[in-house]
Homo-oligomer: A and B are copies of this chain.
Amino acid sequence: MRRVFGGVEGGGTKFKLLIGTDPHDIVAQAQIPTTTPDETLERVIAFFRRPDIELAAVGCASFGPIDLDTRSPTYGCITTTPKPGWAYTNVVRTLGSELGVPVAWETDTAGAALGEYTWGAGRHIEVLVYVTVGTGIGGAVLINGRPVHGLLHAEMGHVLVPVADGDTFAGICPYHGQCLEGMASGPALRARTGRPGETIAPDDPIWDLEAAYLGAGLHQIGYVLSPQKIIVGGGVPQTPHLLEKIRRQVTSLNHGYLAHPALSGGIRDYIVPPGLGADAGVIGALELARQSLQSHADQVRP
């Protein structure tokens, strides 16, 4: 019987599921809609209960905010989400008790970052940032392949960005108004133009404004943390030429201050698309599962 890992990427609209050991060894995969917690988690559990595999551990990379503090009574929960029924759903406890295996737990962006670090565009990068721009804007920091949690987890999608001259858009973030997510997420783009981003022509001038904000956000992240690479995932950056415009903005905002090739001629290797595309999160969840066994082994080693 094959010894394999389970990967779960829990999203607000769908859950992606994977059984395997790495992106080149996938036993099964599926996608289910996110409905009620009970129904959704039951379908997750049913997917992993197969007679032909020995499930060693499950990794779960989840939408948030989530509780990552292993000492907290609500560890393993999605916390203050407005999504009906999901607030304080304990995903880790439910999956762990039903499947009888260790369950590793991370944010969706940290899962994607881990996938990219292990098999994608972030291999061997000591200080790696993964940013996703879609329904929201989020990000994760990996140092030598380990997610940095700190106080809670990074909220780099909500950094402040200077409002462009003449831009009167008030921003849609209910907390911060004109923060990066408020000005440049998918829903912000839609609120600004009246239509979804994927229907806006790639040569529409709105993309210059979008790149100005996203570039300012990456500039902030770069200056605070000095990452060696920033991977930009999510739906919005798939717009043709947008990533190139973002790179130009980051170079321009540096004004030659940081004298490193990554900020000038080497910027195409500094700000990059994900190597694993939209599957980085669920693939990273496999690695999460593998690491959880490793840390368990480290702990029990005498």
Contacts and interface: CB of A to CB of B under 8 A. Distances in A.
A224 B127 contact: no
Interface stretch (A15-23, A151-159, A279-287): A151-159
Interface in A27-70: 65
B256 A149 contact: no
B260 A226 contact: no
B220 A224 contact: yes
Q: Chain A binding site: helix, strand, loop or mixed by DSSP?
A: loop
Interface in A168-196: 175-176
A160 interface: yes
Contacts of A151: 127, 222, 226-228, 258, 260, 262, 270
Interface in A126-184: 126-127, 139, 141, 143, 148-156, 158-163, 175-176
Nearest to A261: B151
Give the interface size bracket for A toward B: 35 or more
A238 interface: no
A154 B226 contact: yes
A256 B158 CA distance: 13
